[in-house]
Amino acid sequence: MNRVRKLFTRLRAGHRCGLIAYVTCGDGPTVEIVHALEDAGADAIELGVPFSDPIADGPVIQMAAQRALKNGTNIGDVFAIADEVRTRSDIPLIAFSYLNPVLRYGVDRFADDAATAGIDSVLLTDLPTEAAAEVRPSFRKRGLGSIFLLAPTSSDARIAAVNRVSDDFIYYVSTTGVTGTRNELDPTLLTRLDEVRARVTKPLAVGFGISQHVHYELLRDHCDAIVVGSAIVRAVASGDAAGAPGRAAAVVKTILDRDAPAPLLSPAT
Protein backbone atom coordinates (compact mmCIF):
# COMPACT_ATOMS: atom_id res chain seq x y z
CA MET A 1 0.00 0.00 0.00
CA ASN A 2 1.51 3.32 -0.99
CA ARG A 3 1.67 6.37 1.27
CA VAL A 4 -1.37 8.02 -0.33
CA ARG A 5 -3.60 5.05 0.25
CA LYS A 6 -2.33 4.69 3.81
CA LEU A 7 -3.10 8.34 4.42
CA PHE A 8 -6.71 7.97 3.35
CA THR A 9 -7.12 4.86 5.49
CA ARG A 10 -5.77 6.86 8.43
CA LEU A 11 -8.03 9.83 7.69
CA ARG A 12 -11.10 7.66 7.52
CA ALA A 13 -10.19 5.83 10.71
CA GLY A 14 -9.71 9.15 12.49
CA HIS A 15 -12.81 10.76 10.95
CA ARG A 16 -10.66 13.62 9.79
CA CYS A 17 -10.70 15.63 6.55
CA GLY A 18 -7.16 15.93 5.21
CA LEU A 19 -5.47 18.77 3.38
CA ILE A 20 -3.51 18.23 0.19
CA ALA A 21 -1.25 21.12 -0.77
CA TYR A 22 -0.27 21.85 -4.39
CA VAL A 23 3.01 23.44 -5.41
CA THR A 24 4.36 24.19 -8.87
CA CYS A 25 7.81 22.61 -8.97
CA GLY A 26 10.59 25.05 -9.78
CA ASP A 27 8.65 28.15 -8.78
CA GLY A 28 10.48 29.17 -5.63
CA PRO A 29 12.48 26.85 -3.29
CA THR A 30 10.16 23.86 -3.74
CA VAL A 31 11.82 21.44 -1.28
CA GLU A 32 11.75 23.96 1.57
CA ILE A 33 8.17 24.90 0.66
CA VAL A 34 7.10 21.24 0.84
CA HIS A 35 8.65 20.79 4.28
CA ALA A 36 7.02 24.00 5.51
CA LEU A 37 3.64 22.86 4.17
CA GLU A 38 4.01 19.56 6.02
CA ASP A 39 4.98 21.29 9.25
CA ALA A 40 1.94 23.55 8.89
CA GLY A 41 -0.36 20.53 8.75
CA ALA A 42 -0.60 19.46 5.10
CA ASP A 43 -1.24 15.72 4.85
CA ALA A 44 -0.01 15.23 1.29
CA ILE A 45 1.69 17.22 -1.45
CA GLU A 46 0.84 17.55 -5.11
CA LEU A 47 4.00 18.24 -7.08
CA GLY A 48 2.95 20.23 -10.14
CA VAL A 49 4.99 19.53 -13.28
CA PRO A 50 5.16 22.84 -15.15
CA PHE A 51 3.72 22.71 -18.67
CA SER A 52 3.73 25.30 -21.43
CA ASP A 53 0.02 25.00 -22.23
CA PRO A 54 -1.92 24.33 -19.01
CA ILE A 55 -5.51 24.40 -20.28
CA ALA A 56 -7.07 23.46 -16.94
CA ASP A 57 -5.29 26.16 -14.97
CA GLY A 58 -6.23 29.71 -14.16
CA PRO A 59 -3.82 32.66 -14.29
CA VAL A 60 -2.06 32.01 -10.94
CA ILE A 61 -0.83 28.51 -11.79
CA GLN A 62 -0.28 29.45 -15.45
CA MET A 63 2.13 32.16 -14.40
CA ALA A 64 3.83 29.89 -11.89
CA ALA A 65 4.40 27.32 -14.67
CA GLN A 66 5.83 30.02 -16.91
CA ARG A 67 8.23 31.15 -14.17
CA ALA A 68 9.26 27.56 -13.48
CA LEU A 69 9.90 26.88 -17.16
CA LYS A 70 11.88 30.09 -17.40
CA ASN A 71 13.95 28.80 -14.49
CA GLY A 72 14.70 25.75 -16.64
CA THR A 73 12.58 23.29 -14.64
CA ASN A 74 11.90 19.96 -16.35
CA ILE A 75 10.58 16.58 -15.30
CA GLY A 76 14.01 15.51 -14.10
CA ASP A 77 13.98 18.41 -11.62
CA VAL A 78 10.59 17.28 -10.32
CA PHE A 79 12.07 13.85 -9.54
CA ALA A 80 15.09 15.51 -7.91
CA ILE A 81 12.72 17.56 -5.72
CA ALA A 82 10.79 14.43 -4.68
CA ASP A 83 14.05 12.63 -3.99
CA GLU A 84 15.29 15.41 -1.75
CA VAL A 85 11.98 15.68 0.09
CA ARG A 86 12.21 11.95 0.79
CA THR A 87 15.56 12.32 2.62
CA ARG A 88 13.67 14.07 5.43
CA SER A 89 9.99 13.25 5.04
CA ASP A 90 7.53 10.46 4.49
CA ILE A 91 4.70 12.74 3.34
CA PRO A 92 2.60 11.28 0.49
CA LEU A 93 3.61 12.78 -2.87
CA ILE A 94 1.32 13.02 -5.89
CA ALA A 95 2.74 14.10 -9.25
CA PHE A 96 0.33 16.42 -11.01
CA SER A 97 0.95 16.86 -14.74
CA TYR A 98 -0.49 17.23 -18.19
CA LEU A 99 -0.11 14.20 -20.42
CA ASN A 100 2.36 15.50 -23.00
CA PRO A 101 5.47 15.88 -20.78
CA VAL A 102 4.90 12.31 -19.56
CA LEU A 103 4.46 10.92 -23.08
CA ARG A 104 7.59 12.70 -24.25
CA TYR A 105 9.59 11.42 -21.28
CA GLY A 106 8.28 7.93 -21.95
CA VAL A 107 5.54 6.40 -19.77
CA ASP A 108 7.68 3.48 -18.53
CA ARG A 109 10.67 5.68 -17.88
CA PHE A 110 8.43 8.19 -16.07
CA ALA A 111 7.00 5.39 -13.92
CA ASP A 112 10.48 4.07 -13.06
CA ASP A 113 11.91 7.46 -12.18
CA ALA A 114 8.83 8.65 -10.29
CA ALA A 115 8.74 5.50 -8.17
CA THR A 116 12.48 5.66 -7.52
CA ALA A 117 12.14 9.29 -6.43
CA GLY A 118 9.49 8.31 -3.87
CA ILE A 119 6.41 9.61 -5.66
CA ASP A 120 3.29 7.66 -4.72
CA SER A 121 0.57 8.58 -7.23
CA VAL A 122 0.15 10.41 -10.51
CA LEU A 123 -2.71 12.60 -11.74
CA LEU A 124 -2.78 13.60 -15.41
CA THR A 125 -5.22 16.45 -15.93
CA ASP A 126 -6.03 15.77 -19.57
CA LEU A 127 -6.17 11.98 -19.42
CA PRO A 128 -9.75 10.73 -19.15
CA THR A 129 -10.60 7.21 -18.00
CA GLU A 130 -11.08 6.09 -21.63
CA ALA A 131 -7.34 6.43 -22.12
CA ALA A 132 -6.33 5.13 -18.68
CA ALA A 133 -4.80 2.01 -20.23
CA GLU A 134 -2.10 4.16 -21.83
CA VAL A 135 -0.43 4.76 -18.47
CA ARG A 136 -2.06 2.80 -15.67
CA PRO A 137 -0.52 -0.65 -16.23
CA SER A 138 2.93 0.89 -16.36
CA PHE A 139 2.32 3.00 -13.25
CA ARG A 140 0.84 0.07 -11.40
CA LYS A 141 3.86 -2.13 -12.14
CA ARG A 142 5.97 0.39 -10.26
CA GLY A 143 3.50 0.74 -7.40
CA LEU A 144 2.26 4.14 -8.50
CA GLY A 145 -1.43 4.94 -8.16
CA SER A 146 -3.31 6.57 -11.04
CA ILE A 147 -5.68 9.32 -9.93
CA PHE A 148 -8.63 10.43 -12.06
CA LEU A 149 -10.93 13.42 -11.88
CA LEU A 150 -14.66 13.80 -11.56
CA ALA A 151 -16.50 17.02 -12.32
CA PRO A 152 -19.93 18.56 -11.82
CA THR A 153 -20.73 17.51 -15.40
CA SER A 154 -19.76 13.84 -14.99
CA SER A 155 -22.55 11.39 -15.78
CA ASP A 156 -23.35 8.43 -13.55
CA ALA A 157 -21.60 6.15 -16.04
CA ARG A 158 -18.47 8.28 -15.85
CA ILE A 159 -18.60 8.33 -12.05
CA ALA A 160 -18.66 4.54 -12.11
CA ALA A 161 -15.78 4.39 -14.59
CA VAL A 162 -13.63 6.73 -12.52
CA ASN A 163 -14.40 4.78 -9.38
CA ARG A 164 -13.12 1.67 -11.16
CA VAL A 165 -9.79 3.04 -12.41
CA SER A 166 -8.83 5.75 -9.92
CA ASP A 167 -6.48 3.94 -7.59
CA ASP A 168 -5.82 5.78 -4.34
CA PHE A 169 -8.56 8.38 -4.33
CA ILE A 170 -10.79 10.37 -6.66
CA TYR A 171 -10.17 14.05 -7.27
CA TYR A 172 -13.49 15.89 -7.47
CA VAL A 173 -13.38 19.24 -9.29
CA SER A 174 -15.62 21.53 -7.24
CA THR A 175 -16.99 23.61 -10.10
CA THR A 176 -16.97 23.94 -13.88
CA GLY A 177 -13.88 26.02 -14.49
CA VAL A 178 -10.12 26.25 -14.22
CA THR A 179 -7.97 26.27 -11.09
CA GLY A 180 -7.96 29.46 -9.05
CA THR A 181 -9.20 30.84 -5.76
CA ARG A 182 -12.84 31.81 -5.42
CA ASN A 183 -14.58 33.56 -2.58
CA GLU A 184 -17.65 31.41 -2.79
CA LEU A 185 -17.92 27.71 -3.36
CA ASP A 186 -20.30 26.45 -6.01
CA PRO A 187 -23.71 26.59 -4.26
CA THR A 188 -24.58 23.09 -5.47
CA LEU A 189 -21.29 21.57 -4.34
CA LEU A 190 -22.33 19.99 -1.05
CA THR A 191 -25.41 18.31 -2.49
CA ARG A 192 -23.45 17.10 -5.47
CA LEU A 193 -20.62 15.81 -3.27
CA ASP A 194 -23.01 13.74 -1.21
CA GLU A 195 -24.51 12.38 -4.44
CA VAL A 196 -21.10 11.42 -5.79
CA ARG A 197 -19.98 9.98 -2.48
CA ALA A 198 -22.95 7.69 -2.42
CA ARG A 199 -21.84 6.28 -5.78
CA VAL A 200 -18.16 5.70 -5.17
CA THR A 201 -16.12 3.47 -2.95
CA LYS A 202 -12.81 5.30 -3.23
CA PRO A 203 -11.83 8.24 -1.01
CA LEU A 204 -12.83 11.63 -2.38
CA ALA A 205 -10.67 14.76 -2.41
CA VAL A 206 -12.16 18.07 -3.49
CA GLY A 207 -10.18 20.77 -5.25
CA PHE A 208 -10.44 23.95 -7.36
CA GLY A 209 -11.29 27.23 -5.69
CA ILE A 210 -10.67 26.14 -2.11
CA SER A 211 -8.68 28.77 -0.25
CA GLN A 212 -10.38 29.72 3.02
CA HIS A 213 -11.00 28.28 6.45
CA VAL A 214 -14.73 28.52 5.90
CA HIS A 215 -14.45 26.32 2.81
CA TYR A 216 -12.70 23.71 4.91
CA GLU A 217 -15.35 23.94 7.60
CA LEU A 218 -18.11 23.50 5.03
CA LEU A 219 -16.48 20.60 3.23
CA ARG A 220 -14.89 18.61 6.04
CA ASP A 221 -17.89 16.36 6.64
CA HIS A 222 -18.50 15.80 2.93
CA CYS A 223 -15.14 14.55 1.67
CA ASP A 224 -11.93 12.84 2.72
CA ALA A 225 -9.60 15.70 1.85
CA ILE A 226 -9.49 19.15 0.34
CA VAL A 227 -6.87 20.32 -2.16
CA VAL A 228 -5.43 23.81 -1.89
CA GLY A 229 -3.48 25.05 -4.92
CA SER A 230 -3.66 28.59 -6.22
CA ALA A 231 -3.76 30.19 -2.75
CA ILE A 232 -0.42 28.54 -1.93
CA VAL A 233 1.10 29.27 -5.33
CA ARG A 234 0.08 32.91 -5.05
CA ALA A 235 1.62 33.16 -1.58
CA VAL A 236 4.86 31.64 -2.85
CA ALA A 237 5.03 34.25 -5.62
CA SER A 238 4.13 37.25 -3.49
CA GLY A 239 7.54 38.03 -2.03
CA ASP A 240 11.17 36.93 -1.90
CA ALA A 241 12.26 33.30 -2.19
CA ALA A 242 13.53 33.13 1.40
CA GLY A 243 10.08 33.95 2.74
CA ALA A 244 8.20 31.62 0.37
CA PRO A 245 8.08 28.57 2.70
CA GLY A 246 6.74 30.71 5.54
CA ARG A 247 4.10 32.34 3.38
CA ALA A 248 2.98 28.97 1.97
CA ALA A 249 2.77 27.51 5.48
CA ALA A 250 0.67 30.45 6.62
CA VAL A 251 -1.95 29.65 3.97
CA VAL A 252 -2.31 26.08 5.24
CA LYS A 253 -2.44 27.20 8.88
CA THR A 254 -5.14 29.77 8.10
CA ILE A 255 -7.27 27.24 6.26
CA LEU A 256 -6.97 24.62 9.03
CA ASP A 257 -7.32 27.11 11.89
CA ARG A 258 -10.68 26.75 13.62
CA ASP A 259 -10.42 30.13 15.26
CA ALA A 260 -9.82 32.18 12.10
CA PRO A 261 -12.64 34.61 11.28
CA ALA A 262 -14.99 33.08 8.74
CA PRO A 263 -15.71 35.20 5.64
CA LEU A 264 -19.31 35.36 4.49
CA LEU A 265 -20.51 32.69 2.17
CA SER A 266 -23.72 32.69 0.25
CA PRO A 267 -26.14 30.02 1.45
CA ALA A 268 -26.56 26.93 -0.65
CA THR A 269 -29.37 27.29 -3.12
Partner 1 sequence: MTRSETRPRAGSLPDRRGYFGEFGGRYVPETLMAALDEFEAAYRNLRRDRAFQSELDDVLRDFVGRPTALTEAKRFAEACGGMRLFLKREDLNHTGAHKINNAIGQALIAKRMGKQRIIAETGAGQHGVATATACALLGLDCVVYMGEVDMARQELNVFRMRLLGAEVVPVSSGSRTLKDAINEAIRDWVTNVRTTHYIIGSVLGPHPYPLVVRDFQSVIGREALGQLKKRTGAVPDVAVACVGGGSNAIGLFYEMLQHDSIRFIGVEAGGRGPALGQHAARFSGGALGVLHGTRSMVLQDEFGQIAETHSISAGLDYPSIGPEHAYLQQIGRIEYYDCSDDLALEAFHKLSELEGIIPALESSHALGWLLRNGASIGREKIVVVNLSGRGDKDVPQIAALEMTR
**Positions in the binding site for partner 1 (CB under 8 A):** 51-56, 58, 62, 66, 69, 74-75, 98-105, 125-128, 130-131, 148-155, 158, 162, 173, 176-178
User: CA-CA distance, 94 to 194, in Å (whole number)?
Assistant: 25
Least distance between partner 1 and beta carbon 212 (Å): 20
CB 23 within 8 A of CB 40: no
CB of 191 to partner 1, least distance (A): 17
What are phi and psi for residue 81, nearest 5 degrees? Answer: -65, -45
Task: Give the nearer residue to partner 1 in terms of CB position, either 130 or 257.
Answer: 130
How many Cα atoms occupy the beta-carbon half-sphere of 14 within 13 Å? 12
- Closest CB to partner 1 among residues 58, 92: 58
What is the distance between the alpha carbons of residues 155 and 163, in angstroms, rounded to a whole number? 12
| DSSP-H helix ranges across the chain | 3-13, 30-40, 59-70, 75-86, 99-105, 107-116, 136-141, 156-165, 189-199, 213-219, 230-237, 244-256
Smallest distance from the beta carbon of 155 to partner 1, in angstroms?
Answer: 6
142, 79 Cβ separation under 8 angstroms: no
Closest CB 110 distance from partner 1, rounded Å: 10
Which residues are tagged catalytic?
A: 46, 57
